[in-house]
A and B are shown apart, each in its own frame.
Chain A
Amino acid sequence: MVKGRIWRISGPLVVAEQMHGSMVYEVVYVGEERLIGEIIGMQGDRAFIQVYEDTSGLRVGEPVEGSGDLLSAELGPGILGRVFDGLQRPLSDMELIVGPFVERGVKLPSLPRDKKWVFRRNTDLRVGDRVRPGDVLGTVKETELVLHKIMVPPNVHGTLVELAGDGDYTVEDVIGYVDVGGGRKVELKLMHRWPVRKPRPYLSRLEPTEPLIIGQRVLDMMFPIARGGKAAVPGGFGSGKTVLLQTMTKWARTQINIYVGCGERGNEMADALHSFLRLKDPESGRPLAEKAVFIANTSNMPVAARETSVFLGVTIGEYFRDMGYDVLMVADSTSRWAEAMREISARLEEMPGEEGFPAYLGSRLAEFYERAGRVKCAGSPERTGSLTIVGAVSPPGADFSEPVTQNTLRYIGTLIALDVTLANRRHFPAISWLISYSLYVETVARWWEKRFPNWKAMRDEALEILQRENELMEIVRLVGPDALPDNDKLLLDAARMIREDFLQQNAFHPIDAYCPPEKTVGMMEVILTFYHEARKALEAGVPLEKIRALPVRAKIARMKEVEYDKFPSVKEELLREIHESINSLIGGAAA
Chain B
Amino acid sequence: MNIDSEQIITVHHLSKIFKVGFWGRRVTAVDELSLDVQRGEIYGFLGPNGAGKTTTIKMLMGLIYPSQGTAHLFGQPVGDRAAKAKVGFLPESPYFYDYLTSREFLRFYGHLFGLLGSMLEKRIDELLELVGMVHARDLQLRKFSKGMLQRVGIAQALINDPELVILDEPMSGLDPIGRKEVRDLIVRLKESGKTVMFSSHILHDAELLCDRVAMIMKGKLVACGLVSELIDHGTTQEVEMVVDRLSPEGIEALRPLAMKTVLHGERVMAILASQRQVDDALEILRANKAKLVSLIPHKASLEDLFIRKAKGVQQVVEVHA
Judge: A and B partners, yes or no. no
B residues engaging A (CB < 8 A)?
A: none
